[in-house]
Amino acid sequence: MGSAGSATPGVQTSPSKMADTVPDVHPLIRSRWSPRSFSSREVSAKDLRTILEAARWAASSYNEQPWRFLVATKSDPAAYQKLLNILVEFNQQWARTAPVLMLTVAKRTLTNNGAPNHHALHDAGAALANLMLQATALGMYAHGMAGYDHERAREELGIPDDYEVGAAVAIGYLDSPDNPVISRLSPRHGRSGIRASCE
Ligand SMILES: Cc1cc2nc3c(=O)[nH]c(=O)nc-3n(C[C@H](O)[C@H](O)[C@H](O)COP(=O)(O)O)c2cc1C
């Protein structure tokens, strides 16, 4: 497993894809990005469990942990196809080779008193960020998607009203670097929220 451009074991991002940050941003954060070209290599059950465990340890409002992950792997073709089918055509085109698809959902109410949890999706996003970084640490990639049919997802996946639907996610390993989809990638453009708020 390569570690080009980083001192972090397992991180595979090539130097050209490392985010151009201020010094001292952790290589794991600099290495994460969202490919549209996944290889057919399977994600082991152990690694899948590890990235979900990383998600679980995110901070959350009232420690509610409102996130849930609907997970489909290619070893269950019917479940995988169901998740793939909810994606918009553009996302289906590239996500269909990823060995794992997920959908994040978030419980809209607080468990202890039933009050609305206005931070449910916020916290599900924090959990997904943990998952993405853990995937990066294991040499994998996770690509979030808003491009899916929300109503269809709710109906076909049986998501109860008490759960908000978040992002779809494709997870797996990068396809060969000779893949033209990868070589056409544009450089990263970070938006500097820090500069905007401090100057
Ligand atoms: C919630 C969310 C929704 C996204 N939706 C899509 C999508 O539908 N299709 C897509 O190709 N990329 C999607 N992306 C990927 C973003 O375009 C990508 O994260 C952004 O351009 C920054 O690039 P990077 O992740 O490589 O740093 C989404 C990302 C997030 C977090």
CATH number at residue 124: 3.40.109.10
CB neighbour class for 153 (10 Å; exposed up to 12, middle 13-18, buried from 19): buried
pLDDT at 14 over 80: no
Calpha distance 7→122 (Å, rounded):
31
Atom of ligand 1 nearest to the CA of 166: 1
Whether 5 is in a domain gets the answer no
Instruction: For 165-178, write each residue's pLDDT tens digit.
Output: 999 999 999 997 66
pLDDT of residue 6: 41
Percent of the chain with pLDDT over 90: 79
SS3 76: coil
The string of pLDDT tens digits covering residues 139-170 is 999 999 999 999 999 999 999 999 999 999 99
* Six-digit token string for 154: 């709710």
pLDDT > 70: what percent of the chain? 82
- Nearest CA owner, ligand 1 atom 27: 33
Is residue 104 a part of any domain in this protein? yes
In a domain, 198, yes or no: no
Closest residue by CA, ligand 1 atom 19: 34
pLDDT for residue 10: 62
User: Is residue 62 one of the residues assigned to a domain?
Assistant: yes
**Residue 121: inside a domain:** yes
How many A from CA of 116 to the centre of ligand 1?
A: 28
SS3 27: helix
Which of 17, 21, 143 most suits a substitution to test ligand 1, by most atoms within 8 Å of the C-beta?
143
Residue 97 is part of which domain span?
33-174
Token duo for residue 156: 């076909």
Residues 90-107: tens digit of each pLDDT: 999 999 999 999 999 999
For the chain, the domain total comes to 1
List, for residues 28-44, the tens digit of each pLDDT value.
Answer: 999 999 999 999 999 99
Q: Is there an atom of ligand 1 within 6 Å of 40 CB? A: no
Of the candidates 87, 160, 166, 171, which has an alpha carbon nearest to the alpha carbon of residue 125? 166
Residue 194 lies in a domain: no
Q: Which amino acid is present at 163? A: Y
Residue 6 lies in a domain: no
Tally the C-alpha atoms within 13 A of residue 129's C-alpha that lie toward its C-beta: 10
Q: What is the pLDDT of residue 199?
A: 37
Q: What ligand 1 atom has the least distance to the C-alpha of 128?
A: 31
Q: What is the DSSP letter of 69?
A: E
- The answer to the question of residue 78 being in a domain is yes
